[in-house]
A and B are shown apart, each in its own frame.
Chain A
């Protein structure tokens, strides 16, 4: 009798060998070495630079986006996009960072810079300071950019906005319901509470306040305006960073939300409702008020009006809370958590540095965000810009409405979703309607309650360890506390017990680290 079929290992090895040879044959070679520039371009010979970025399903990235073709004509540098679906970007990025298998340029967050800067896998830009005059000019102009530095050194290029529209989350209420319930715009959150009660009395089947994505979002939006919040934030009233759930005011804020929950003014399903169900409530008329992105009210109004023709929404001035002040947050003026880093192992570092220095010029900002002056946009005497009628027509639908996503896909000029380190997002606001623009300009920009958020300060290596060790523990306790106290599973007096747990897990040290780091850069 035969003992062993000997062909098995041979076949296995042969198959693996075929696979390896196929795979090796299918790979593309690395980027070419960058020659010195001359003749107006950034490189003498055409150069391809690979860029890995997070891709939104809303605005897919393609290799032939118009503005990047113009960039190639101008600089001689062609961008090879390596888009990764945003849903899984963190996992892919983490794998590449851990294995130091980076493309030429990769999009990272501040945490990644903090965690990996001292490993040497990113280029330390301080060594190229003389070759980056435009970048350093912008850092001087927008000092917040220094918040992305580690130990005083820049390791990446943050997305800085030359122009953005000042706007934030807003308190929106159904104007038709306010009228029918005979209520006026509330000046205080107590009056707001009474208004929601009046809504409930008149429309028992409706939900006076709707929220999405659970207690953390509720506390970050309504909770913040009430005087507390979610996570550690710079507190304008205290003038320093505070872990908002541990503020003494949080007890009263949670008591307020608990009352809303008990009286069914707050959505009974607020814990489990995600964005889609929340939007459904805005569209079918069952949600009457919320504090969040005002766009969703406007977006679903046509759908709502098919059911309730008189329906409308109003963006209200933020009411004063029970501690005597009103507060809200604008959208951050720069995208400091979207940072482009250069892999230290790359062969074209000099050319990449020149490319980034070019990106931070006004000329590049115009070209990459707006297009060609006189053709795509015109700059008026007061410095404001307008897209030409022809450009707008090119991206309009059959009804003549401008479709911003169409422009973004074709041109790649949506800075939030593309590879544009110095941005001007005029194009974002071409498609929003007058009501929404009116809310931004006439309500939010004039509301003194709003402030720009303070970015997370840069930490030292020791501070980073402390933050990493404590942050998750505090967040876990906070989430548990929010739900139990808002839903009344535990009495509001239990707040003191949670406060003790926060302190036990290192609350004081956590806040001190943030404030020490902030003091160094403020």
Chain B
């Protein structure tokens, strides 16, 4: 039998719901606004008439962006960097996390100390650039992937998850004759899907949004990721000031094009979240509860 709620509790519930709805609207409206501007007429946007619903619906900006060979190529590049980068990240992070999760591993603390040190101190941009250059990595995919192969923070979260797996599982496998490769691949990884899913999301969204290493290490435009192109579209208007003399008046205002590009670059990574949602909460909690 359910206890009936007091008037104060009901008022609290209603207020709570209203507040949360309000917060939800505040969080979602900017994204919604970008969507409705991207499908509205350029003139209506220029006059500031687009507030709640699209005005003079058009898909022109999307057509323009999709037909733009640079944008399409940069989209494929981003996809490549994200997939390869995430695979390398996960492989390297797990390989590093596994030995550090074994308490009996001699030198565990020293290695952990060395690794954690990099969270607080780095070589800086110029020395890192020189290292990447001396390895001959410039202008290649590996300049993007290898210097950032492991995020210390994420690796520690994975290590903490591995430590939560009962040690007795590993010991019984060893008694049955399993070596570390077998234990890692057949026991530890299958039991670690929540943290792997979470790290996939963390690493993938990091690569998807990344532009700085690509800017520094890549020279050829054909290798640029989408975020670099998008960033230029969004913040370079004042740099073209001398060119403003000859800006054309067309149906598609630059604002609608920019917002269409924002939608095209945001939606794919947003679509990944629902598929990893069921693992996500558990994976994140691991890092917060233990360590």
Give the interface of A toward B (CB within 8 A): 1-5, 7-8, 11-12, 15-16, 19-20, 22-24, 26-28, 50, 52, 54-61, 81-88, 91-92, 95, 98-99, 101, 103, 167, 213, 275-276, 279-280, 283-284, 293, 295-296, 299-300, 302-304, 306-307, 331, 397, 401, 403-405, 414, 416-417, 428-429, 431-432
Contacting pair B236 A22 (CB below 8 A) = no
Give 8 pairs: A residue, B residue, CB < 8 Å, sorted on A: A19-B142, A22-B141, A22-B142, A58-B247, A99-B129, A283-B48, A284-B46, A416-B243
Contacting pair A56 B247 (CB below 8 A) = no
Q: Which residues of A contact B96 (CB under 8 A)?
A: 8, 12
Closest chain A residue to B232 by CB distance? A85
Contacting pair B229 A3 (CB below 8 A) = no
Contacting pair A5 B180 (CB below 8 A) = yes
Contacting pair B246 A404 (CB below 8 A) = yes
Contact with B231, one of A20, A88, A101 (Cβ below 8 angstroms): A88
Contact with B246, one of A83, A213, A283, A428 (Cβ below 8 angstroms): A428
> A4-B105, A98-B126, A99-B126 are contacts. A23–B143 as well, Cβ < 8 Å?
yes
A172 CB, min distance to chain B CBs, angstroms: 14
A14 CB, min distance to chain B CBs, angstroms: 11
> A86-B232, A95-B216, A299-B247 are contacts. A280–B142 as well, Cβ < 8 Å?
no
A223 CB, min distance to chain B CBs, angstroms: 18
Contacting pair A92 B215 (CB below 8 A) = yes
**Is B290 at the interface (CB under 8 A from chain A)?**
no
B111 CB, min distance to chain A CBs, angstroms: 10
Q: Which residues of A contact B249 (CB under 8 A)?
A: 299, 302
**Is B220 at the interface (CB under 8 A from chain A)?**
yes
**Is B237 at the interface (CB under 8 A from chain A)?**
yes
Closest chain A residue to B137 by CB distance? A23
Contacting pair A23 B133 (CB below 8 A) = no
Contacting pair A431 B246 (CB below 8 A) = yes
The residues in B between 234 and 254 inclusive whose CB is less than 8 angstroms from any CB of A are 234-250
Contact with A15, one of B92, B180, B216 (Cβ below 8 angstroms): B92
Closest chain B residue to A427 by CB distance? B246
B54 CB, min distance to chain A CBs, angstroms: 17
Q: How far is the CA of A279 from the CA of B98 in the complex (A)?
A: 57
> A12-B92, A87-B232 are contacts. A293–B102 as well, Cβ < 8 Å?
no
Contacting pair A23 B236 (CB below 8 A) = no
The residues in B between 182 and 227 inclusive whose CB is less than 8 angstroms from any CB of A are 184, 211, 215-216, 219-221, 224
> A20-B142, A85-B229, A99-B129 are contacts. A213–B244 as well, Cβ < 8 Å?
no
Contacting pair B248 A405 (CB below 8 A) = yes
- 1/0 per position for B34-61, CB-CB distance to A under 8 A? 0000000001001111000000000000
Q: How far is the CA of A368 from the CA of B244 in the complex (A)?
A: 21
Among all A-B residue pairs, the 3 with the closest Cβ atoms: A85-B232, A23-B140, A283-B46
**Is B168 at the interface (CB under 8 A from chain A)?**
no
Q: Which of A8, A52, A103, A404 has the most CB of B within 10 A?
A: A8
A212 CB, min distance to chain B CBs, angstroms: 9
Contacting pair B216 A91 (CB below 8 A) = yes
Q: Which residues of B contact A20 (CB under 8 A)?
A: 135-137, 142
**Is B181 at the interface (CB under 8 A from chain A)?**
yes
Q: How far is the CA of A493 from the CA of B241 in the complex (A)?
A: 36
Q: Which residues of A contact B181 (CB under 8 A)?
A: 7
A389 CB, min distance to chain B CBs, angstroms: 19
A86 CB, min distance to chain B CBs, angstroms: 4
- Assuming A5-B105, A99-B130, what are 7 further A-B pairs, CB within 8 angstroms? A1-B174, A5-B98, A26-B139, A50-B219, A87-B235, A284-B48, A295-B244
Contacting pair A275 B237 (CB below 8 A) = yes
Closest chain A residue to B105 by CB distance? A4
Contacting pair A303 B231 (CB below 8 A) = no
Contacting pair A57 B236 (CB below 8 A) = yes
Contact with B236, one of A87, A331, A405 (Cβ below 8 angstroms): A87
Q: Which residues of A contact B184 (CB under 8 A)?
A: 5
Q: Which residues of B contact A98 (CB under 8 A)?
A: 126
Query: Is the interface on chain B under 10, 10 to 19, 20 to 34, or 35 or more residues?
Result: 35 or more
Q: Which residues of A contact B250 (CB under 8 A)?
A: 397
Closest chain A residue to B216 by CB distance? A95
B142 CB, min distance to chain A CBs, angstroms: 4
Q: How far is the CA of A420 from the CA of B83 in the complex (A)?
A: 40
Contacting pair A213 B238 (CB below 8 A) = yes
Closest chain A residue to B146 by CB distance? A19
Q: How far is the CA of A429 from the CA of B243 in the complex (A)?
A: 11
B35 CB, min distance to chain A CBs, angstroms: 18
Contacting pair A283 B47 (CB below 8 A) = yes
Contacting pair A403 B248 (CB below 8 A) = yes
Contacting pair B105 A3 (CB below 8 A) = yes
Contacting pair A56 B228 (CB below 8 A) = no
B195 CB, min distance to chain A CBs, angstroms: 18
Contacting pair A52 B219 (CB below 8 A) = yes
Q: How far is the CA of A302 from the CA of B41 in the complex (A)?
A: 14
Q: Which residues of B contact A293 (CB under 8 A)?
A: 241, 244-245
B41 CB, min distance to chain A CBs, angstroms: 10
Q: Which residues of B contact A401 (CB under 8 A)?
A: 248
> A27-B140, A85-B228 are contacts. A280–B48 as well, Cβ < 8 Å?
yes
Contact with B247, one of A50, A60, A295 (Cβ below 8 angstroms): A295
> A23-B137, A284-B48, A429-B246 are contacts. A5–B99 as well, Cβ < 8 Å?
yes
**Is B122 at the interface (CB under 8 A from chain A)?**
no
**Is B288 at the interface (CB under 8 A from chain A)?**
no
Contacting pair A56 B142 (CB below 8 A) = no
Q: Which residues of A contact B143 (CB under 8 A)?
A: 23
Q: Which residues of A contact B231 (CB under 8 A)?
A: 85, 87-88
Q: Which residues of A contact B133 (CB under 8 A)?
A: 99, 101
B252 CB, min distance to chain A CBs, angstroms: 12
**Is B156 at the interface (CB under 8 A from chain A)?**
no
The residues in B between 116 and 163 inclusive whose CB is less than 8 angstroms from any CB of A are 125-126, 129-130, 133, 135-143, 145-146, 149
Q: Which residues of A contact B107 (CB under 8 A)?
A: 4
> A19-B145, A280-B48, A307-B47 are contacts. A95–B125 as well, Cβ < 8 Å?
yes
**Is B106 at the interface (CB under 8 A from chain A)?**
yes
A161 CB, min distance to chain B CBs, angstroms: 11
Q: How far is the CA of A350 from the CA of B126 in the complex (A)?
A: 30
**Is B255 at the interface (CB under 8 A from chain A)?**
yes
Contacting pair A8 B236 (CB below 8 A) = no
**Is B165 at the interface (CB under 8 A from chain A)?**
no
Q: How far is the CA of A307 from the CA of B47 in the complex (A)?
A: 9
A87 CB, min distance to chain B CBs, angstroms: 4
> A295-B244, A296-B244 are contacts. A27–B216 as well, Cβ < 8 Å?
no
Q: Which residues of B contact A55 (CB under 8 A)?
A: 221, 232
Q: How far is the CA of A11 from the CA of B91 in the complex (A)?
A: 10
Q: How far is the CA of A228 from the CA of B9 in the complex (A)?
A: 63
Q: How far is the CA of A296 from the CA of B105 in the complex (A)?
A: 68
